[in-house]
Chains A and B, each alone.
Chain A
């Protein structure tokens, strides 16, 4: 057991630090400016050799042990750089369920940032109950025609491609009639409608209306009716703190709050510091376990729940220090309320933990 960097890890950290010094101030870190420049940041990170660290070399990754992602996240936060774009769950979805042809075509652009992606899962009536989705894909010659309405779609306004779930068999049992596609976003029949978050951010999320958009049949991921398996892979990975890289950002915000506090720390801030440190160490443990090839499955729900608690503890600390008069800290607090909803609500995570880990069946 060793929580320190190995010599190779330390060398990587030094190289990364030096590069980050050169990038200082070039990329915004929050709000609409951050979302607008995120693609440039992704490409800059990849060009310098710091993106896709644990992903396959064949597609532009580096195939390093997953603990390198800890170093990346820590150093980005330390340097005041933007966080890395989180795409691991899409990569896992295509990587596990897509054909070699689809992987060769799409993974390099996903990893190097030359093509941008969004995830077309949630719908207005299919959020936590994803299997009730109603978007349809109807075969028409060599392609499928899509009709439906997606919502809470991150990066929908800038995405070139969408990993889309749609119902291909209305007569099959609801989990079995769903298929997955890689569909082009920039085509007729795809309409964007921005959503403004309660924090005021306008460009993170969108709604997407599909009205007769087309996708070639060979861009179905897996076989017809196999979309649910892909969805489970994607949401499982979406729920690990390790893929989200948030832990280091929470620590940074806690230190910033402490720097603004005189004398004794407010209790909320001291507690947020304890929680943040727990999560920092938890991510290390989880990523070390992946050295055994452990795939976490439902354990991702434990990680997501812990991360949510930490995010909201930090949000409460921001409120304790800044009150409502500091727009940035108010925004950090308001955004923390989304954490227990996005990627599956806390209630859904607890259902998964209770049912699939503790064995408390219905």
Chain B
């Protein structure tokens, strides 16, 4: 079987340029650089044109590159993803925006039945090099259906690659990598972090499928992704003042999962806590916990704990601070890890 379109590409890194910018600006820069370097890349969705997206991630793209490269669609998520499938079949690299996580659900059939399966159904004859960007998670005081964490649905679906950045640098490099990737990528943007700033080097190339050690530590490993990473770092900072050396791993790639990095990290400390915002039952956090147990059991001094959202629909704005995992909840979990010296 021949593949007519060249769907294996490498990221051509932009000129080395180091700037401090927000995650939103980093994502915008990544989209602009991808559009500029690859004529097959098109960006579309709801309000991504003149408005620049409700979070302004696509700000200025239509003005700069024209309607051919960044355009508004009718308000229809299945239509957005379904037409992206057809474009990918015909050799293009669509990057689509789902406005909020729960708004992506009308497109779920297209994602699960076609985006994830077309390469397999056609035995490699048709690939789906498309990226579905979804703002995910809470912490912004959003009303219902605006703050869900749907990563487990996607990570559970064979054929999908699911990633989430937690820094502006990763936002830039991971999105560039996702757009160049030959398989479909669900790109989860932690909306709470859109306005956090950090250094971005546009020449850094990310590799999909790898976790990142976000902080070194000897006593316990915190495993987190998305908006839970800064939380883990904050908890680690506080724990350090109490005399505990806490390591933080940014899982970053939810599927495929970087077992090697995570296993090595947990074995080096012998204790682990998984932190995620989504409801914990049957979640990505559960999967990480299970994998760590399977691979690290004989190295563990205590059961692997999870700190997650409750198994309830996402909280209304005035209650979300009770719902979301916070530093105290993480520190309590760390304290529960059978510290012999406390005995």
Note whether A and B form a binding pair.
no
Point out residues on B near A: beta carbons under 8 Å: none
